[in-house]
Every structure is written in C-alpha cells, then in structure tokens.
Chain A
Amino acid sequence: MNYHWNWGIFFEPNPMGTGTYLDMLLSGLALTLKTAVLAWIIALIFGSIVGVMRTLPSRAAYWFGFCWVEFFRNMPLLVQLFLWFFVLPELLPKAAGTWLKQLPNAPFWTAAIGVGFFMSARVAVQLQAGIGSLPRGQKMAATALGLTTMQGYRYVLLPMAFRIILPPLTSEFLNTIKNTAVAITIGLLELTGQARSMQEFSFQVFEAFTAATLIYLLVNAVVVTSMRFLERYVAIPGYITGK
C-alpha cells in the first residue's frame, strides 16, 4: 500500500473556508450531539408513554403500544429515515409535501425524529419489562391507598421501574448517539458525514476516520461515566445494589 500518512492534516485549512479540518470534524460532532440529544428526549417521552400503555389493563392501550413498538422496531433504521425523508412528502397533498421539503434543516429534524421514534420502541419494551418486574402488590398497595392509576404510576411504579432499567437505558442512549450516523444518508453533515467529506477533500481517509472513531469513543465514555454517577445518585439505601 502506498499511502501517504499526514497527521498534521487536522490543522490545515479546509477547502470550505470554515477553518481547519479539525473545525470541520468538531462542527460535525456538535451536530451529532444535538441530533442525539433531541432524539433521546423524543425516545424517552414516547417510549415512556408507550411502555406504560403496554402495561395498562385497557385492551385498546395495549394494542396501540403493541403496534407502535412492532412498527418502529421491525424496520431497519435506514429504511425508516428514507420513508420520512423521501417518501412521506410525496404521499402528502402536494402543498403540504412541498412545504415539508422546503423546511430549513430538514435532514436534522428528520434524523432526530426518525432516530427518536426508532429508539422509543426499544425504551418502551424495556420500561414495560421494568414495570413488569415489580411485585404485583406494589400496584395493589398504591391502588388500595386511593391513588388513581396515573398517580400510582407517577409516584410508585415508575420511580422504581426507571431505577431498575437504568443500566440498559445507558446502552440505549449510546445506541442513539451511534445511530445518528445513519443520517449521513439523508445529507446530515454530522460527525461521520464530516469525516467523509474530509476524506474526499484531502484523501486522508485513515486520519479522518481514526479521528471520528476516537471522538465517538470519547463521547460514549463521557455518557457511560455520567450514567454511572446517576445510577449511584438514585440508588436506594439497603435495596439490591444500593449505597
């Protein structure tokens, strides 16, 4: 292999005139983080609602939750993003479709919502398992005290269920960050996208993707560490692995 290594490339100006190649990667990182955080918020909100619905006695709620989860988890993420980005605007009435296509930052919003819904199915299933793992008597005790179903979930079941599923939720947060890379296919210039353009401009493919890899590792290390702190912070004295 006749490859010309050049680690100094990061400090050379990029052809877009936006500073160095490193600046390019960092702007990609910023976009990756923005997309991931928004997607994670969406995943948590919708995942919580759908996860709770899957544990309610109501058949309708259960079926809604079932359909939501099976729809979003049984299709490849890539196909889902294509659906939202390329297919949905064509299916809508012409005016609405045109309006959607002309929205500023369309790749960003599509990626955040698309990844968010995809991940919400996974959060929902885990929350359902977390709630299901609580003793049946907990719900009964809450009910017997006169708490409504909503109050029972809010004050009794969910605080415990979320504590139980915190470790797997950490993995899902990491997956959310990594999954935003798929958005390169709808033109989002996030970290992977910027690494790719760096490669195309400079032909330093190994340097570009080594840098991207290290940045992903670093970000995920920060997430893992802070989730460990969160786990310890919400641990219950005397309970399982409490403090």
Chain B
Amino acid sequence: MIEISHVNKWYSPTFQVLTDCTTSVTKGEVVVVCGPSGSGKSTLIKCVNALEPFQEGDISVDGTKVNDPKTNLPKLRSRVGMVFQHFELFPHLKIIDNLCLAQQKVLDRSRDKAVAKAEQLLERVGLKEQAQKFPAQLSGGQQQRVAIARALAMDPIVMLFDEPTSALDPEMVSEVLDVMVDLAHEGMTMMVVTHEMGFARKVANRVIFMDRGEIVEDADKEDFFGKPRSDRAQKFLSKILSH
C-alpha cells in the first residue's frame, strides 16, 4: 500500500532530516513509528502524502508515485486520511461542516449524502450530539475524535496519524486510542507516529524505530518488544517503558 524507498530529505544543504529511509506498509497492516523527538518520524509520515517535499528517493501510495510531478496530488491526498497532533479542525465551521467540507468540495458529494456520511461517522466516534457545535466548544479528546471522523469521511484507503495523542490531557488519551484500536481491528491500513507503546503492543503489526533521521529498527511487534536489535532502540524503550 505504501512503499518508501531510499528517501533523503534536507532542510538545508548541511541539515539532513531523513537519511535513506526505506520501508513499506502493506494493505491492512498497522505500523507504529516511534523514536526520540527530532528523529524525523513526523517528517517521514508527512512525506507520504507530500505535505513535505523530499529531494531523493521514491514514495508510492497504492501504486501512485507521490513525488512524480504528473501526479494529481489533491486527488491522491483525498484518499489518504491524516490526523494531526493539534487536531487542526477548522474553527469557523460547525463539527458537521468540518466533516462535510472536503466531501462536498473534493469528492463532489451532494450535501445530503455528505451529511448522512458525517452523521454516521460522528455516531461511530460517539459525538453525534456535538454535530452543531463549534470545535472550540469541545474537549481535546472530542476534537481529535472529530478529526479522525473527518478523515474517515473521505473513505480513505490508508490512515496516517501524526502523534494523535501527544497534545491531549492524560485522561483523554484512551478515548482517542479506543477509536484507533477499533479502526485497526476493522482492517484499516494505518501508519501511526506515537509514543503510546500500549497501543503498539495491542494492535501494531510492525514497529519502526527512528533516530536522527534514520530507520534504525524495522521489526515485527514481537521482535521489537522482545529484544530490539539496536542499542539505541533498547535505550529508548527502557526509558519510556520504565514508568
């Protein structure tokens, strides 16, 4: 589904953020990307739907090359759902309109169809009563669930999560993770940047560990949590699992 091969990215000639990153996500797979801050995980996931450009290498999604200038990027992006650390709901639109905007403007769905789809998804994330509210009237956890529903409204073939729980108060983390776990169980293809190792343990198929722009470890979940091969991954795990 996602093929990433030999991706190199520089912010400036002397500052390389991604170094020779190669990995893949197959259909129905859940891949967790973790690593210390500044290791390039968010950058890598943003390269997948071309929110960030990269200078070398190739990324393709469902056979479509992301870095090909001929690719219709808006069309490709409309099939790749993305959830951000800071939710990024559109503050001037009601919850229902946050879910309908792209359905109507990008997928050309009728208002009725879009609303029906939106209501069905809001119901699914447990927020149907909030449809007529504005984002600022919701808690962080609710906003992030709306953001997930907004991405799902586009019927994506794959979902990207960029630290979806990092900006949440602790007691709101689980309501968001629950939605993501359900999604994984339904067979959604997911690439998730997160530090939630409990989530990784529960639903991930593979874990990628990044450090200083490189993919240091790319292993099945059992191998990763059993005995990571690299020192750096071991150190990282010992730090975040000790509490």
Q: Told that A140-B84, A160-B90 touch, could you supply 13 new A-B pairs with CB distance under 8 A?
A: A137-B86, A138-B90, A140-B51, A144-B51, A144-B77, A145-B154, A146-B77, A146-B78, A147-B101, A159-B92, A236-B134, A239-B134, A242-B134
Interface contact B75-A146, CB-CB below 8 Å? yes
Specify which chain B residues have a CB less than 8 angstroms from the CB of A242 in the assembled complex: 134, 136
Q: Are A147 and B102 in contact (CB under 8 A)?
A: yes
| Residue B202 at the chain A interface, CB threshold 8 Å | no
Given contacts A140-B88, A141-B90, contact A147 B105 (CB under 8 A): yes
Given contacts A143-B77, A146-B75, A146-B106, contact A237 B136 (CB under 8 A): yes
Is residue B234 contacting chain A, with contact meaning CB distance below 8 A?
Answer: no
Candidates A140, A155, A239; contact of B91 at CB < 8 Å: A239
Q: How far is the CA of A169 from the CA of B210 in the complex (A)?
A: 47
Chain B residues with CB below 8 A from A148, complex form: 74
Minimum CB–CB distance from A5 to chain B (whole Å) comes to 55
Residues B106 and A147 in contact, CB atoms below 8 Å apart? yes
- Chain B: residues with Cβ within 8 Å of the partner, total of 32
- The answer for the CA separation of A163 and B82 in the assembled complex, in Å, is 27
Q: Which residues of B approach A to under 8 Å, CB–CB?
A: 46, 49, 51, 74-75, 77-82, 84-86, 88-92, 101-102, 105-107, 133-137, 150-151, 154
Are A236's CB and B101's CB within 8 A? no
A135 at the B interface (CB under 8 A): yes
Q: Point out the residue from A141, A155, A159, A239 that lies within 8 Å of B84, measured CB to CB.
A: A141
Total chain A interface residues with beta-carbon distance under 8 A: 23
Choose among A135, A144, A147, A237 the residue that contacts B82 (Cβ–Cβ < 8 A).
Answer: A144
Residue A168 interfacial (CB < 8 Å) = no
Task: Determine if B86 and A143 form an interchain contact, defined as CB atoms under 8 angstroms apart.
Answer: no
Q: Is A226 an interface residue (CB 8 A)?
A: no
**Across the interface, do B74 and A236 meet the contact criterion of CB distance under 8 Å?**
no
Inter-chain CA distance A4–B68, complex, in Å, is 82
